[in-house]
Structure 1
Amino acid sequence: MKRKPHLFGIRHHGPGSAALLKGALDVLDPACVLIEGSPEGDALIRHAALPGMKPPLAMLFYAADEAANAVFAPFAEFSPEWVAMQWALAHGRPVRFIDWPAAVSLALGKAAREDDMQPKNAEDEEGTQTTIPAPSRLDPLDLLAEAAGYGDGETFWNGLIEQGGGGQSPLEIFAAIEAAMTEARQHQADAGGMSESEQLREERREAFMRGHIRDALKQHDGEVAVVVGAWHVGGLRAETTVAEDRSIVKDLPKIKVEATWAPWSDGRLSYASGYGAGVISPGWYRHLWSLYSGAGQQGPEAFAALWQARTAALLRQEGFSASTASAIEAARLALGLASMRDLSVPGLAEMRDATLSALCHGDAAQLALVERKLYIGNRIGEIDDSVPQMPLARDFELWCRRARIKPEEADSQIKLDLRSDAGLLKSTFLHRLNLIDIHWGRLIDAEAARGTYREIWNLSWSPEMSVGLAEALVWGLTIEQAAAVATIERGRNANGIAQLSQLVHGALVADLPEAASTCIDFLQAAAVQTNDITDLMKAVVPLVRIVRYGTARKLPEPELRALIVALSSEINAGVRIGSRQLDDDATAARVIAMRAYDEALGVLRDAALLDEWRRQLALMVDDAHVVAPVVGLSLRRLHDLGLWSEQQVSAAFSRQIVGETPARAGGFVEAFIAGSAEVLIQDETLLFLIDEWLCGLDEEVFVESLPLFRRALAGFDSIGRKRVMERIAGGRRQASAARIDETEDNPAFERALPLLRQILGMDA
Structure 2
Amino acid sequence: MDSHLHLLGVRHHGPGSAALLVAALDRLDPAVVLIEGAPEGEALAPHVRGDGLKPPVAMLFYAPGEAKRAVFAPFAEFSPEWQAMRWALARGRPLRFIDWPASVSLAFTQKDEDAEAQRSDPLDLLAEAAGVANGEALWNTLVEESGGASDPVAAFAAIGEAMTEARRHAEESGAPAARRDAIREAFMRLSIRKALQDFGGAVVAIVGAWHIDGLRAKVSPTVDKATIKGLAKVKVEATWAPWTDSRLAFASGYGAGVVSPGWFRHLWRAYREETFEPLSFAAGWQARTATLLRAEGFAASPAAAIEAARLTLSLCGLRDLATPGLDEMRDGALAALCNGDPVPLRVVERRLYIGETIGEISGDAPQSPLARDLALWQKRVRLEPKDIESDIRLDLRTEAGLAKSTLLHRLLLLGVSWGTLIEADAGRGTFREIWRLSWRPEFSVALAEALIYGVTIEEAAGNIIRDRAAHCARVMDMAKIVRASLVADLPDAAGAAISALQALAVDASDLTDLMLAIAPLASALRYGVARRLPEEALRALVHALAVEVNAGVRIGSRQLAADVAAARVAAMRGFDEALAIFDAPDLVAGWRKALTLIVEDEQSAPAAAGFALRRLLDLGLWTAEAAAAAFVRRMSAAPLEAGAFLEHFVAGGAEILLQDAALLALVDAFIVDLDDDSFLAALPLLRRAFSGFDSTARIRLIDGVAQGRRTLSHAPAPEPEEDDPAFAAALPLLLRILGLEAAS
Q: What interval of TM-score do these two structures reach, taking the shorter chain for normalisation?
A: over 0.9
Question: What is the aligned partner in structure 2 of residue 125 from structure 1?
Answer: none
Q: 1:321 matched to which residue of 2?
A: 299
Question: TM-score, length-normalised on structure 1?
Answer: 0.90
Partner SS state of residue 320, structure 1: coil
Selected match of 1:614 from 592, 600, 619: 592
In structure 1, the partner of 2:659 is 684
1:50, 1:384 within 8 Å by CA — same for their partners in 2?
no
| Counterpart residue identity of residue 43, structure 1 | A
For 2:653 and 2:633, locate their aligned partners in 1 and report how far apart those are by CA, in whole Å.
25
| CA–CA separation in structure 2 for the residues paired with 1:327 and 1:697 | 70
Match of 1:751 in 2: none
Q: Does 1:139 align with 2:121?
A: yes
Normalising by structure 2, report the TM-score: 0.92
- Secondary structure of the structure 2 residue equivalent to 1:448: coil
Question: Which residue pairs with 2:54 in the alignment?
Answer: 54
**C-alpha distance in 2, partners of 1:11/1:548?**
56
Aligned match for 1:286, one of 265, 287, 290: 265
1:294-443 aligned within 5 A: 294=273, 299-443=277-421
In the TM superposition, what are the counterparts of 1:55-94 in structure 2 within 5 Å?
A: 55-94=55-94
In structure 1, list runs of 5 or more residues that go unmatched: 120-133, 735-764
For 2:237, what is the secondary structure of its paired residue? strand
Is contact 1:31–1:220 with CA below 8 Å preserved after alignment? yes
Structure 1 residues 447, 388: CA separation in 2 closer, same or farther (over 3 Å shift)?
same
Residue equivalent to 1:175? 157
Report what 1:227 is aligned to. Answer: 206
**CA deviation after TM superposition for structure 1 residue 703, in Å:** 3.6
1:464 aligns with 2:464: no
Q: Deviations over 1:59-106 (max 9, x none)?
A: 000013324310000111000000101111111111121000000000
Identify the residue that residue 754 of structure 1 maps to in structure 2. Answer: none
The one-letter code sitting in structure 2 at the alignment partner of 1:684 is Q
- State the alpha-carbon separation in 2 of the partners of residues 584 and 732 from structure 1: 32
Q: Distance in 2 between matches of 1:554 and 1:83?
A: 50
Residue 728 of structure 2 corresponds to: none
Whether 1:245 and 2:219 are equivalent positions in the alignment is no
**Does the Cα contact within 8 Å between 2:39 and 2:102 map onto a contact in 1?**
yes
Q: Aligned residue for 1:129?
A: none
Residue 561 (structure 1) aligns with = 539
Tell me, yes or no, if the aligned pair for 1:392 and 1:469 is still in contact at 8 Å.
yes
Question: Which residue is equivalent to 1:656?
Answer: 634
Pairs within 5 Å for 1:498-647: 498-647=476-625
Residue ranges of structure 2 left out of the alignment (5+ in a row):
715-744
Aligned-partner residue type, residue 169 of structure 1: D
1:693 is matched with which residue? 667
Residues 15 and 165, structure 1, Cα contact 8 Å, conserved in 2: no
Deviations 1:456-498 (A, max 9, x none): 1111110000000011011111000000000111011113111
Query: 1:212 matched to which residue of 2?
Result: 191
Tell whether the 8 Å contact from 2:147 to 2:276 is kept in structure 1 after alignment: no
SS in 1 for 2:464: helix
Q: In 2 relative to 1, CA 482–611 (structure 1 residues): closer, same or farther, beyond 3 Å?
A: same
Aligned to 1:186: 168
**Structure 1 residue runs of 4+, over 6 Å off?**
730-734
Are 1:68 and 1:468, in contact at CA under 8 Å, matched by a contact in 2?
no
Superposed CA offset, 1:510-534 (max 9, x none): 1111111101110000000110000
- Give % identity: 55
- More displaced, 273-282 or 721-730? 721-730
CA distance in 1, matches of 2:656, 2:85: 71
Deviates more, 1:218-227 or 1:157-166: 157-166
User: How many angstroms does 1:2 deviate by?
Assistant: 4.4
Please give the secondary structure, in 2, of the residue aligned with 1:161: helix
Deviation at 1:719, TM superposition (A): 3.0
Amino acid of the residue matched to residue 564 of structure 1? V
Question: What is the deviation of 1:135?
Answer: 5.9
Count of aligned residue pairs for this structure pair? 708
Q: 2:130 aligns with which of 148, 167, 173?
A: 148
Shift of 1:729: 5.6
- Counterpart amino acid of residue 725 in structure 1: I
* In structure 2, distance between residues paired with 1:709 and 1:140: 60
Residues 650 and 689 in structure 2, CA contact (< 8 A), matched pair in contact too: yes
Cα distance in structure 2, aligned partners of 1:164 and 1:673: 70
Tell me which amino acid in the other structure corresponds to 2:669: C
Contact kept, 8 Å, 1:68 with 1:471, in 2: the verdict is no
In the alignment, structure 1 residue 7 sits paired with structure 2 residue 10: no
Residues 694 and 732 of structure 1: CA distance in aligned 2, closer, same or farther (over 3 Å): closer
Give the AA of the match of 2:121.
D
Change (3 A) 1:418 1:174: same
RMSD between aligned alpha carbons? Answer: 1.9
Q: What amino acid sits opposite 1:401 in the alignment?
A: K
| Whole-Å separation in 1 of the counterparts to 2:376 and 2:6 | 44
Residue 574 of structure 1 deviates from its aligned partner by: 0.8
Q: 2:237 corresponds to which residue?
A: 258
Shift of 1:582: 1.6
Please show how residues 475-490 of structure 1 align to structure 2 within 5 Å. 475-490=453-468
The match for 1:130 is none
Distance change in 2, residues 1:335/1:304 (3 Å): same
Q: Deviations over 1:222-260 (max 9, x none)?
A: 100110000001111111211111011111111110000
Contact in 1 for aligned 2:44/2:366 (Cα 8 Å): no
Q: Give the direction of change, closer, same or farther, for the CA distance of 1:649–1:699 in structure 2 (3 Å limit).
A: closer
Does the Cα contact within 8 Å between 1:17 and 1:165 map onto a contact in 2? no
- What's the offset of the Cα at 1:697? 5.1
Task: Please state whether the residue corresponding to 2:106 is helix, strand or coil.
Answer: helix
Superimposed CA distance per residue, residues 159-192 of structure 1 (whole angstroms, 9 cap, x where no aligned partner) = 1111114243101111111111111111111112
**Matching residue's letter, 1:41:** G
CA distance in 1, matches of 2:352, 2:118: 33
Summarize the Cα distance change of 1:23–1:697 in structure 2 as closer, same or farther, 3 Å threshold: closer
Maintained 8 Å contact 1:32/1:223:
yes
Equivalences for residues 157-176 of structure 1 within 5 A: 157-176=139-158
Superposed CA offset, 1:586-640 (max 9, x none): 1111000000101111221212111111111111111111110000001111111
Residue identity opposite 2:122 in structure 1? P
